[in-house]
Amino acid sequence: MNAPIPPGSVIEVADAVAAGRERAAEVCRAALARIAQIDPDVRAFLHVSADHARARATQLDSAIEAGRGGGALAGVPIAIKDNLCTRFAPTTAASRALEGFVPPYDATVVERLESAGALLVGKTNLDEFAMGSSTENSAFFPTHHPLDRGRVPGGSSGGSAAAVAAGMVPAALGSDTGGSVRQPAAFCGCVGLKPTYGRISRYGLIAYGSSLDQVGVLAGNVRDAARVLEVIAGPDARDATCSTHRPEAYSAAMTEELVSRRMAGLRLGVPREYFGEGLSDSVRRAVEAAIDKARRGGARVVDVSLPRARHSVAAYYVIATAEASSNLSRYDGVHYGVRRGAEAGIEALVRESRGAGFGAEVQRRIMLGTFALSAGYYDAYYAKALRVRRLLRDDFSAALREADVLISPTTPTTAFRLGEKLSDPLSMYLADVYTIAVNLAGLPAISIPCGADEAGLPIGLQLIAPALGESLLLQAARAFEQMLASAG
Amino acid sequence: MSLTAEARCEAIIGLEIHVQLATRTKMFCGCALAYGAEPNSHVCPVCLGMPGSLPVINERAVELAIRAGLALNCRIAEETRWDRKSYHYPDLPKSYQISQYDLPIAFDGMVEFEVQEVHRRIRIRRAHLEEDAGKNTHDLPGRTLVDLNRAGAPLLEIVTEPDFRSAAEVREFAVQLQRIVRYLGVSEANMQKGQMRFEPNINLRIADGERVAVTPIVEVKNLNSFRALHDAIEFELADQLRRWREDGRTLRPGNKSNRGWDEERGVTVPQREKEEADDYRYFPDPDLTPLPIARERIERLREETPELPIPRTARFIAEYKLPPRDAPALVDDRASADLLDQAKDHGGEPSILGRHFLSFWLMHANARETTIAGLGVSAERMAGLARLQHEGAVNATAAAQIAEAMLTDDSPPDALAQRMGLMQTRDSGAIEAWVEQAIAANVQAVSDARENPKKLAAARGFLVGQVMKLSGGKADPRIVGELLDSRLRRPQ
Ligand SMILES: [Zn+2]
Query: Is the per-residue pLDDT at A333 higher than 50?
Result: yes
Instruction: State pLDDT tens for residues A257-314.
Output: 888 899 999 999 999 999 988 899 999 999 999 999 999 999 999 999 999 999 999 9
Would the CB atoms of A103 and B146 count as touching at under 8 Å? Answer: no
* pLDDT, position A5: 64
pLDDT tier for residue A3 given thresholds of 50, 70 and 90: low
Instruction: State pLDDT tens for residues B268-291.
Output: 999 876 544 568 999 999 999 999
As a whole number of angstroms, the distance between CA A76 and CA A173 comes to: 13
Distance from CA of B183 to the nearest CA of A (A): 32
Where along chain A do its domains lie? 1-308+384-488, 314-380
Is residue B41 within 8 A of residue B149, CB to CB? The reply is yes
Burial state string for A114-127 with b = 16 or more CB within 10 A and e = fewer than 16:
bebbbbbbbbbbbb
Would the CB atoms of A335 and B96 count as touching at under 8 Å? Answer: no
Averaged pLDDT, B208-216:
90
Chain A residues close to B57, C-beta within 8 Å:
240
Q: What DSSP state is assigned to residue A205?
A: B
Strand partners, B201: B14, B219
As a whole number of angstroms, the distance between CA A162 and CA A154 comes to: 9
Instruction: Give kind and range of the element (H or E) at residue B96.
Output: strand B96-99
- Torsional class of B293: left (φ above 0), alpha (ψ -120 to 50), beta (otherwise): beta
What mean pLDDT is reported for chain A? 95
* pLDDT, position A487: 64
Out of A202, A332, A334, the one facing B54 most closely (by C-beta) is A202
pLDDT tier for residue B211 given thresholds of 50, 70 and 90: confident
Out of B52, B96, B281, the one facing A204 most closely (by C-beta) is B52
- Torsional class of A466: left (φ above 0), alpha (ψ -120 to 50), beta (otherwise): beta
Is residue B78 within 8 A of residue B292, CB to CB? The reply is yes
Instruction: State pLDDT tens for residues A21-33.
Output: 999 999 999 999 9
As a whole number of angstroms, the distance between CA B11 and CA B209 comes to: 17
Averaged pLDDT, B329-348:
95
Catalytic positions of A: 81, 156, 180
Is residue B203 within 8 A of residue B212, CB to CB? The reply is no
Instruction: State pLDDT tens for residues B294-307.
Output: 999 999 999 999 99
Q: What DSSP state is assigned to residue A169?
A: -
Q: Is the CB of residue B143 less than 8 Å away from at least one CB of chain A?
A: no
Give A426 Cα–ligand 1 centroid separation in angstroms: 40
Residue B206 exposure: Cα atoms within 13 Å on the Cβ side: 24
Distance from CA of B324 to the nearest CA of A (A): 50
Chain B residues close to A382, C-beta within 8 Å:
283
Q: Is the peptide bond before A175 cis (omega within 30 degrees of 0)?
A: no
Chain B residues close to A241, C-beta within 8 Å:
54, 286-289
Averaged pLDDT, A167-189:
98
Q: Chain A residues contacting B, CB < 8 Å? A: 83-85, 91, 93, 98, 101, 103-105, 107, 202-207, 209-211, 237-241, 322-323, 325-326, 329-330, 332, 334-335, 346-347, 350, 370, 373-375, 378, 382
Chain A residues close to B90, C-beta within 8 Å:
334, 346
Residue of A nearest to B83 (CA): A326
* pLDDT, position B274: 55
Is residue A160 within 8 A of residue A35, CB to CB? The reply is no
Instruction: Calculate Rg over the CA atoms of chain A.
Output: 21
Residue of A nearest to B142 (CA): A343
ipTM higher than the 0.85 cut: yes
Query: Is the per-residue pLDDT at B491 higher than 70?
Result: no
Q: Which of A146, A228, A149, A145 is nearest to A194 (CA)?
A: A228
Give B455 Cα–ligand 1 centroid separation in angstroms: 83
Separation of first and last alpha carbons in chain A: 37
Distance from CA of A468 to the nearest CA of B (A): 18
* pLDDT, position A486: 85
Distance from CA of B56 to the nearest CA of A (A): 6
Which of A204-208, A240-244, B488-492 comes out lowest in average pLDDT? B488-492
pLDDT tier for residue B71 given thresholds of 50, 70 and 90: very high
Is residue A108 within 8 A of residue A204, CB to CB? The reply is yes
Topology of the domain covering A1-308+384-488 = Amidase signature (AS) enzymes (3.90.1300)
Chain A residues close to B58, C-beta within 8 Å:
none
Would the CB atoms of A326 and B51 count as touching at under 8 Å? Answer: no
Size of interface A-B (CB pairs under 8 A): 101
Q: Is the CB of residue B85 less than 8 Å away from at least one CB of chain A?
A: no
User: Could you tell me which residue, B392 or A146, shows the higher pLDDT?
Assistant: A146
Is residue A435 within 8 A of residue A177, CB to CB? The reply is no
Is residue B364 within 8 A of residue B404, CB to CB? The reply is yes
What mean pLDDT is reported for chain B? 92
Distance from CA of B305 to the nearest CA of A (A): 30
* pLDDT, position A1: 41
Instruction: State pLDDT tens for residues A50-92.
Output: 999 999 999 999 999 999 878 999 999 999 999 999 999 999 9
Chain A residues close to B278, C-beta within 8 Å:
375
Query: Is the per-residue pLDDT at A457 higher than 70?
Result: yes
Is residue A6 within 8 A of residue A30, CB to CB? The reply is no
Which of A167-171, A337-341, A470-474 comes out lowest in average pLDDT? A337-341
Query: Is the per-residue pLDDT at A224 higher than 50?
Result: yes
Chain B residues close to A98, C-beta within 8 Å:
51
Q: Is the CB of residue B291 less than 8 Å away from at least one CB of chain A?
A: no
Would the CB atoms of B95 and A203 count as touching at under 8 Å? Answer: no
As a whole number of angstroms, the distance between CA A196 and CA A427 comes to: 27
Out of B86, B90, B146, the one facing A329 most closely (by C-beta) is B86
pLDDT tier for residue A345 given thresholds of 50, 70 and 90: confident
As a whole number of angstroms, the distance between CA B105 and CA B93 comes to: 25
* pLDDT, position B121: 97
* pLDDT, position B275: 47
User: Could you tell me which residue, A34 or A345, shows the higher pLDDT?
Assistant: A34
Distance from CA of B100 to the nearest CA of A (A): 16
- The counts of H helices and E strands in chain A are 16, 11
Give B28 Cα–ligand 1 centroid separation in angstroms: 7
pLDDT tier for residue A475 given thresholds of 50, 70 and 90: very high
Averaged pLDDT, A452-475:
97
Give B133 Cα–ligand 1 centroid separation in angstroms: 12
pLDDT tier for residue B175 given thresholds of 50, 70 and 90: very high
Classify burial at A356, counting beta carbons within 10 Å of its beta carbon; exposed 0-12, middle 13-18, buried 19 or more: middle
| B47, B86, B287, best to mutate vs chain A, most A CBs in 10 Å | B287
As a whole number of angstroms, the distance between CA B30 and CA B45 comes to: 10
Out of B56, B57, B88, the one facing A350 most closely (by C-beta) is B88
Residue of B nearest to A104 (CA): B45
Q: Which of A335, A23, A448 is nearest to B51 (CA)?
A: A335
The CA-CA-CA angle for residues B211, B213, B215, to 5°, reads 170
Q: Which of B57, B53, B392 is nearest to A107 (CA)?
A: B53
**Domains along the sequence of chain B with CATH:** 8-292 (no CATH), 308-419 (no CATH), 428-489 (1.10.10.410)
B369's CB contacts (< 8 A; 6+ apart) are none
As a whole number of angstroms, the distance between CA A124 and CA A156 comes to: 10
Out of A85, A325, A329, the one facing B51 most closely (by C-beta) is A85
Please give, one letter per residue, the 3-state secondary structure of A68-124.
Answer: CCCCCCCCCEEEEECCECCCCCCCCCCCHHHCCCCCCCCCHHHHHHHHCCCEEEEEE
Chain B residues close to A377, C-beta within 8 Å:
none
The CA-CA-CA angle for residues B377, B378, B383, to 5°, reads 105
Instruction: State pLDDT tens for residues B439-476.
Output: 888 888 888 888 888 888 888 888 888 888 888 777 88
Is residue A328 within 8 A of residue A361, CB to CB? The reply is no
Instruction: State pLDDT tens for residues A357-392.
Output: 999 999 999 999 999 999 889 999 999 999 999 999
Would the CB atoms of A210 and B286 count as touching at under 8 Å? Answer: yes
Instruction: State pLDDT tens for residues A404-443.
Output: 999 999 999 999 999 998 888 888 788 788 999 999 999 9
At B23, the amino acid letter reads: T
Residue B191 exposure: Cα atoms within 13 Å on the Cβ side: 16
As a whole-number percent, the residues of chain A with pLDDT over 70 amount to 99
Would the CB atoms of A329 and B288 count as touching at under 8 Å? Answer: no
